[in-house]
Structure 1
């Protein structure tokens, strides 16, 4: 059950959470939460990790769980709402953009790297689900990110342009683009952009598509519900993802290390497997036994916090 302030977890008594805000390079105000261990020593520089939300998620859900657990292990951790979503600024609401969502990671590094208690040479990142692709894309060009980890990564640009399991035909892709083009006219003449259907259905049952049900069991129930996390984006947003691949230069992240974390049974596993093959060394692939995709959003008994802590302790030394 979500707690009254809409965080889906209780704040640990040994962690301090502070609401902060800053602007990205587009002038959009980003709403974020800063997590630090209690008794934090602000007189010296610490390693820091920025944590991105699943595609359609917000900072009060899984990212906060990750940030809290990393703060308990001695890291400064920052979570944020993507531009145009959550409590962050940007109009129209619920817009999705590869460039904006990649920029949001660099803006988080801007913020962390200018805090007196953060060592700007020891900043890393975690991207959950769709933000895994955005983080890797940011790391391709933002060398301030010294180590990056993805958790059940989705490559939204690949999913948009090629379909699920690369099943989209050229004819179907052109049909989607034609529909989006017509929607642009409607949005231009209307009062508000049309939104996609919910990615996490409400009122699912045993006949619901298994992937949709998995998301519904999180976003559409008290387990993960948040009023800002509607799992919908403007319909015309997808055009940008179909035109701008996120991971074409993943090999250039090297020699900075990448850790890919997947659930053994995650439906998204193939995204990480393929990205791992394309990435240059150093790289690691970690499989969480008996875990699906959404399990690694909030199931603290399954999320490999010790592995993540070990990875960042070693590579942000």
Structure 2
């Protein structure tokens, strides 16, 4: 695997500083420096302490990542929205788990991506899920196809610079056209459910009303933090549980899972330096209620 950038600065810069400006972490740089990769400037192998001049190309070559034998591959369908040498964006159906766990081992998104990469003769066979979704939340997931991509996007994830928007159907009529729910979220001992807890982690959810029915509201939701069940906990806390959400008091008379869909994701690609934005259509369940 290799990636190339053209340095567009006006002053010489060391390779490490330049790569850090693109998002590369200290740990990955050291791994590359210590034998797991090569640095090339103008297509010539150089030491990692080398300075790059304006308009010079910098190339990183790295060994491919071998498959993780503890993760089974699956040939079940994978809805690929976008793919290049570094990224996969997939549209996950509700009901499919993101990663293997105690209850599901061999047919998660991770298993399906591994099967997809094997079928397409990919050199890198250890995908990295950058975003995850609850089992019964469908929509867009971003996956790094190798560890360099995973490392270089991590800063955007940690600093909440990646835009993630969801569509939810909630109970009742949300009166404010636009609002924020700023309530800390904590764990509930021995239970899967999270709770509003003044001693919990900071959690901020922003929303816009898109449509109202007699007994429901469709909202567009943007996460400014990434807490477990954040949208579900926050809307339950303001008296508008998600329809179908049995864990947080939603009406389950028609749906057995929360009507929540990851409808948009946007990030800055550290390889092309372009903003990448993807959207997903709402599943049929959202229109049946309407």
Q: Give TM class, smaller chain.
A: under 0.3
**Bigger proportion of residues as strand:** 2
Q: Could you tell me the TM-score, scaled by structure 1's length?
A: 0.23
**Bigger proportion of residues as helix:** 1
Structure with higher RCO (Cα < 8 A, 6+ apart): 1
